[in-house]
Amino acid sequence: MSDNNKAQHIAEYIQSIAAIEECMEPYREQRKDLRKNYIENKWLNKDDVSLAMKAFRMLQQKVDFEDLSAIYENLSYTLNGGNPKELAE
């Protein structure tokens, strides 16, 4: 592929991304407003919203919760000065 042709494809790609980003902006604002509304009405606090979104993303990505939990426990134990091998015993 020639440099000129590649440059043209890059320019087209950036234009397409810019158009998509522009179309997405109202939805981003709507998401921000929804979050703000739940916090202002004290239905949820910031931590609740954050954890709910993390759980939602994990469900979307089909994260195996048992695997994640085991890794989290080992990491938490290690960061707090323990030996993760002791957890298995």
Residue 81: CB atoms within 10 A of its CB come to: 6
Residue ranges per structural domain of the chain = 1-43, 44-89
- What is the tens place of the pLDDT at every residue in 51-84? 999 999 999 999 999 999 989 888 888 888 766 5
**Do 35 and 49 meet the contact criterion of CB atoms below 8 Å apart?**
yes
Rounded CA gap, 33 and 22, in Å? 18
Q: What is the mean pLDDT of residues 17-30?
A: 95
pLDDT at 79: 87
pLDDT at 50: 96
pLDDT at 1: 74
In the 8-state DSSP scheme, what is residue 81? T
Q: What percent of the chain is modeled with pLDDT above 90?
A: 70
**Do 44 and 51 meet the contact criterion of CB atoms below 8 Å apart?**
no
In the 8-state DSSP scheme, what is residue 2? -
pLDDT at 78: 85
Phi and psi based region of residue 42 (left: phi greater than 0; alpha: psi -120 to 50; beta: remaining): left
**Do 80 and 87 meet the contact criterion of CB atoms below 8 Å apart?**
no
Confidence tier at 41 by pLDDT (50, 70, 90): very high
